[in-house]
Amino acid sequence: MGEADAQAVYREVRKIGDFVGFARQFAFDADHRVARNALWTLTKATTQEITQLQPMMDELIDLALKTESSSVRRLSLNIIDMLEMKEEDLRSDLYDFCLEHAVDVEELPGIQAICMKIAYRISTFYPELMAELKRILEGMEIEYYKPAVKSIRTRILTGKYQ
C-alpha cells in the first residue's frame, strides 16, 4: 500500500471516527500485510485522534513484543510512542524489550531508535531505570549504529531529548 492509499484509508477512518474499531478489525490481523497497512494508516492520525487507542495500549504492546514482522513491530512501537505513558500503566516487559532491541546491532535502525525513545520515556518515571538506560547507552560501540540511532542516543545522554 502506497502513501496515497494510506492517506485515503486514513481519511475514511477519520470520517467514521472509529480508530479503535479500525485497529481491532485490521491491526491485529494474522496476515502481516493487512496488519502493517492498518498500522501505517493509524500513524497518519493526529495526536488527538490517536488518543482513542489509549485503552488498547496493552494489546499494542503485546503485538509489538510478539510479532515476527519487523514492519508490524516498528509501526506498533511508533503508535505506542504516540500514546500517553502513565507510571501506573508501565510494563517491565516493554522496557526490557526496548533495552534489548535498542542496542541490538542486528535490529533495524528504525526499531532501535523507537525502542530507545520508549525506554527513555519509561525511565523518566524511575531514576534507577534512567541510570541503567544511560549506562547501557554509554556502553554502546557507537560506530556500529546508523545516524538515527546515534542521534537519539546523543540527545538522551546530553539531556536534550524530550
pLDDT tens, residue by residue, 83-136 = 999 998 789 999 999 999 999 999 999 999 999 999 999 999 999 999 999 999
Query: What's the confidence (pLDDT) of residue 153?
Result: 94
Domain enclosing residue 19, as ranges: 1-84
pTM of the predicted structure, to 2 decimals: 0.92
Length of the chain: 162
Q: Are residues 161 and 135 in the same domain?
A: yes
Residue in 138, 144, 78, 88 with CA at minimum distance from that of residue 110 = 78
- Whether 55 and 126 map to the same domain: the answer is no
- Domain co-membership, 4 together with 77: yes
Cβ–Cβ < 8 Å for 42, 50: yes
Per-residue pLDDT, 62: 97
Is there a single domain that holds both residue 105 and residue 137?
A: yes
Q: Which of 24, 50, 84 is the last residue of a domain?
A: 84
Quickly list H helices, the chain: 3-16, 19-22, 32-42, 47-50, 57-66, 70-82, 92-103, 109-123, 127-138, 147-157
Residues 6+ apart with CB under 8 A from 66: none
User: Of 35, 59, 84, which marks where a domain is finished?
Assistant: 84
| Total domains in the fold of the chain | 2
pLDDT at 113: 95
- Is residue 91 located within the same domain as residue 160? yes
138 and 78 in one domain?
A: no
Tell whether 108 and 91 lie within a shared domain.
yes
